[in-house]
A and B are shown apart, each in its own frame.
Chain A
Amino acid sequence: MKIHIQYYALMREQANCSHELIDTTATTGRELYRELSNRHPFTLDVSQLRIALNGAFAELDAPLTEGVEVVFIPPVAGG
């Protein structure tokens, strides 16, 4: 299944890109994060970030569908 991914903040930096298109067998955001963690040096625990599917916040265990856009949003503190 092909999906579009967008990263923000710390995760963009760790993935070294803001967008990518990947082919995955992951069925949920939680599984996807685990899979991506093998490719990118992510340091956040999955409980500390939020995901959005097609422009709306979603639970980590919500199902992924073909062509979905997944946005990973870590919290940001600076000011």
Chain B
Amino acid sequence: MRHFRFSNDAIDAASETQATHNPAAGGFASFEGWVRNLNEGRTVARLNYEAFEALAVIEGEKIIAEAIKRFGILTAHCVHRVGELAIGDIAVWVGASAPHRAEAFAACRYIIDEVKHRVPIWKKEFYTDGDSGWVNCERCAQPTSASDHSHQSHGHSHPHPHAAHPTHHPEPTAEAVVPAANYSRQIVLKDIGEAGQRKIRSARVLLVGAGGLGVPAALYLAGAGVGVLGVIDPDVIDASNLHRQPIYTQGTLGQSKALVLKQHLNQLNSEVDVRAYVARADFKQLHELASGYDMVLDCSDNFTTRFVVNDVAKALGIPAVVASVYQYEGQIQVLTPSGACLRCLWPEATRDGLVGNCQEAGVLGPVPGVLGALQALEAIKLVVGMRSPLTSHLALIDLLSFETRRLKISKHPDCDATHSAPARGDQPILEVLSLDDAIAQSLVVIDLRNPDERHAHPLTVAHRALGSAEILANPSLLDAAAGAVLVCAKGVRSRALAQELTGRGVKNVYSLKGGLG
């Protein structure tokens, strides 16, 4: 059976569910997109979907294959309606079955988000006032309030992410007259002036991450009048984000960060062409996306993405401004095509999970606010051609003591030859899905958790408690012949350590996926 198809007839959810059954499945999740009677304040009577089916089916199949591989689910499929639909009809159905519920939920979410973003489907709405119009993805995908989020009609879309901006939005053109008053406070600066403002106006800047760093960076760049501002982020807004991402509100919880940020930026400065991409930045996708931009800002929260941004910037020969935060301090660095890159600074592939992120280590809200604002500042300097003192330098900023340092980074002799290839050094990760699987494979269970975590959720199977540092200092503590499974609370530390050890040539080291809780 094909995993992705179009249907001219009504979708029968029960028979679709039946087709997803699998004896090995312990969980099934589905999503239905319904036709809603309201869009942007206009009453919709009915609508019509059209797809470029040959291309759409190929892309749809690709998305489901990605979901199966990425989440380890048993199967999934997606049916999308074409033709005329009435209010309440199912426009799209997605179902995924998996051994456990978490993968089923995640895969289902992934498939619908990617389908909306990547599959070329268009929607024509017929309004009760007799009018009609073609509608694109983002206008429909953007929930107007938390209450209608779960019932939002399922709208589409763009044949290509580059097209992801509303058709009614004014396009920036070379002829557009910038009202001087808007930017007068920066034009008056002698390093900016009218000439600098024209450069800002024609700049295209891509932000990777719409979180603690991305929000302030985006606000200042939109305020400055950057011509095209792209924002890529796969996440939805969580209550724990609001203290450091304060343009999001309690009313926008659960909504896409990229889309809500875009909406806000459009209100801040309607002259800026803001393009939102709800996706994770892997090398291939970011390489394609960033080729339409002059510069990338890395506002992500993990090393994997930071290195992807570095590699893409190197490969495309464009500058990048990279920042990160930890509790009360931050690091910021400007990468230029001829200067030192992130891999010149951190030559050992740094792993997520070995040093804390905001969730694990904590962070005070204004700290990424400061660093994100500095990223916007450095970006503007690059755009107008002012000297950036952070090119080939790392700035360390301690906001508790207000001590700052700027250290010169030497460019590695092989930087240009070797630092732009993707995913270097990332060994395949060996994961087990449950402790039962690990025991069935006679793996020695190694508990990496701290005493508090061990006390909160004691392990009931035979195991050894060892610290990450102990193992890194002496990998022979693990009996490679027997094989070992590393376990921690969330599966992040164990995955990082397994990856690091495998990279160092230690055999048979596995990580327990998802951790022990």
Contacts and interface: CB of A to CB of B under 8 A. Distances in A.
Are A and B physically bound partners?
yes
Interface of A: 8-10, 12-13, 18, 37, 41-45, 47-48, 50, 52, 55-57, 71, 73-79
Nearest to B406: A55
A75 B349 CA distance: 11
A77 B303 contact: yes
B324 A78 contact: yes
Which 5 pairs of residues, A with B, have the shortest CB-CB distance? A79-B301, A9-B326, A45-B472, A78-B358, A43-B469
Contacts of B439: none
Contact of B368 (A9, A44, A73, A79): A79
A79 B358 contact: yes
Interface in B307-362: 323-327, 329-331, 345-346, 348, 350, 352, 354-358, 361
B407 A56 contact: yes
Nearest to B298: A79
A76 B326 contact: yes
B211 interface: yes
Interface in B397-456: 398, 400-401, 405, 407-410
B303 A44 contact: no
A41 B376 CA distance: 37
B39 interface: no
A69 to B, nearest CB: 10
A75 B409 CA distance: 14
Given A55-B407, A73-B396, A79-B324, A43 B467 contact: yes
Given A18-B398, A56-B407, A76 B331 contact: yes
B7 to A, nearest CB: 42
A37 B470 CA distance: 11
Given A75-B350, A78-B301, A44 B358 contact: no
Given A43-B467, A50-B345, 13 more contacts: A13-B327, A43-B469, A48-B355, A52-B407, A55-B407, A57-B408, A71-B405, A71-B407, A77-B356, A78-B212, A78-B324, A79-B212, A79-B368
Contacts of A41: 469
Interface of B: 209, 211-214, 299-303, 306, 323-327, 329-331, 345-346, 348, 350, 352, 354-358, 361, 363, 368, 394, 396, 398, 400-401, 405, 407-410, 467-469, 472-473, 500
Nearest to A75: B350
Contact of B350 (A12, A18, A48): A48
B492 to A, nearest CB: 11
B355 A79 contact: no
A50 to B, nearest CB: 7
Given A44-B354, A78-B358, A50 B329 contact: no
Contacts of B357: 77-78
A71 B500 CA distance: 25
Contacts of B350: 48, 75, 77
B468 A43 contact: yes
A79 B348 CA distance: 21
B214 A79 contact: yes
A56 B408 contact: yes
A79 B396 contact: no
B346 A75 contact: yes
Contacts of B355: 9-10, 44, 48, 74-77
Given A76-B325, A78-B301, A57 B469 contact: no
Contacts of A74: 355
Contacts of B306: 77
